[in-house]
């Protein structure tokens, strides 16, 4: 019997680029039957907590909380240097300083929210909204700060907003490590050979995309917040790299560093499980 895999991925361009060939069955599914759903990253996090997916792209913040029942796949991650969320301000030259101010984050379990918690603890009030609402709400002065992800990294200056800090750059300076944003996790309730096959199909889909970048553009445009092809490809160039192909030793060490930092602030217990990468 064909094994159905409930797969959840985000609508961000690096995922629609990576998974275009899988979604459109341009590659061999190797005996599996994928049921794919595309959602905002925080919706994916929540749905995974609810048990709705066998395999899903999630924030590594969320993955930390599911580390005892899942493994990170070697391929499909967003991890690197210069890829971090930006802390933006509604008015230039403002800094987070007290609870009369409001900071918007793109979801309680996003790595962006974890970074704000790491670097600006006990400063402002935090409110969580869909990532695409952050810049519009800053422009209309409904909030003071926002942690911006996805395409907004390339368009925030056009919106007249201020840059407080590149949170990824700060992570890199403090840890000497690439920033792990999100990855593909599989539930350990799946058979090991099934997880291995899922990994192989995802890798094949990524390699298909890398061989012909333009083939994925229709799918990317369909789900993106930004329709400028140049911006979409800048997003891919930034977030799809050698660590997306395979986390390798550096990627695995970065996940251990994130686990340690999360443990330092009590996000996971002192004896909590580190993020574990699937061993083929």
pLDDT tens per residue across span 139-192: 999 999 999 987 677 778 888 899 999 999 999 999 999 999 999 999 999 999
| Cα distance between residue 226 and residue 156, in whole Å | 12
Q: For the chain, what is the mean pLDDT?
A: 93
| Cα distance between residue 159 and residue 186, in whole Å | 38
pLDDT for position 151: 65
Write down the domain spans for the chain.
Answer: 3-80+179-264, 86-175
pLDDT for position 75: 98
- Of 131, 120, 126, the closest CA to residue 42 belongs to 131
Active-site residue (options: 150, 213, 223, 235)? 150
Convert the pLDDT of each residue in 23-80 to its tens digit. 999 999 999 999 999 998 889 999 999 999 999 999 999 999 999 999 999 999 999 9
- Of 74, 72, 37, the closest CA to residue 58 belongs to 72
Q: Contact 152/84 with Cβ under 8 angstroms?
A: no
| Cα distance between residue 106 and residue 94, in whole Å | 20
109 is catalytic: no
Q: Which fold has domain 3-80+179-264?
A: D-Maltodextrin-Binding Protein; domain 2 (3.40.190)
Architecture of domain 86-175: 3-Layer(aba) Sandwich (3.40)
Distance from the Cα of residue 246 to its chain's centroid:
16
Distance from the Cα of residue 190 to its chain's centroid:
23
Mean pLDDT over 89-103 rounds to: 94
Fold matches, 3-80+179-264 and 86-175: yes
CA distances for 84 relative to 125, 178, 205, 219, 276, angstroms: 21, 9, 25, 24, 22
User: Buried (b) or exposed (e) across 191-224, using 16+ Cβ within 10 A?
Assistant: eeebbbbbbbbbbbbbebbeeeeeebbebbeeeb
| Cα distance between residue 94 and residue 127, in whole Å | 18
Convert the pLDDT of each residue in 181-211 to its tens digit. 999 999 999 999 999 999 999 999 999 999 9
- The strand pairing partners of 182, in sequence order, are 59, 78
Instruction: Tell me: pLDDT of 245 over 70.
Output: yes
pLDDT for position 150: 72
Beta-strand pair 179-187/70-72: antiparallel
Alpha helices in the chain, H assignment, sequence order: 13-23, 41-49, 60-65, 111-119, 134-139, 152-155, 167-175, 192-211, 217-223, 229-239, 242-245, 248-264
């Amino acid at each position: 019997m064909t094994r159905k895999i409930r797969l959840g991925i985000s609508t961000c361009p690096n995922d629609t680029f990576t998974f275009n060939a899988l979604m459109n069955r341009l590659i061999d599914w190797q005996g599996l039957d994928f049921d794919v759903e595309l959602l905002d990253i925080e919706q994916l996090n929540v749905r995974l907590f609810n048990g709705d997916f066998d395999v899903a792209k999630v924030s590594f913040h969320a993955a930390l909380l599911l580390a005892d029942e899942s493994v990170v796949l070697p391929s499909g991650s967003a991890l690197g240097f210069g890829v971090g969320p930006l802390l933006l301000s509604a008015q230039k030259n403002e800094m987070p300083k007290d609870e009369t101010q409001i900071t918007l984050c793109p979801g309680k379990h996003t790595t962006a929210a974890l970074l704000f918690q790491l670097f600006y603890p006990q400063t402002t009030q935090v409110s969580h909204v869909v990532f695409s609402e952050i810049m519009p709400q800053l422009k209309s002065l409904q909030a003071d700060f926002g942690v911006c992800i996805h395409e907004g990294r390339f368009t925030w200056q056009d919106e007249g907003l201020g840059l407080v800090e590149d949170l990824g750059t700060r992570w890199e300076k403090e840890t000497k490590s690439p920033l792990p944003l999100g990855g593909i996790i599989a539930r350990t309730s799946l058979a090991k050979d099934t997880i291995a096959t899922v990994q192989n199909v995802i890798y094949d889909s990524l390699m298909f995309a890398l061989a012909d970048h333009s083939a994925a553009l229709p799918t990317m445009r369909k789900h993106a917040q930004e329709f400028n092809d140049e911006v979409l490809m800048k997003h891919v160039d930034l977030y799809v790299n050698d660590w997306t192909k395979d986390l390798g030793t550096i990627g695995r060490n970065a996940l251990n560093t994130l686990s340690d930092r999360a443990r330092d602030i009590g996000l996971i217990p002192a004896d909590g499980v580190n993020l574990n990468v699937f061993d083929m």
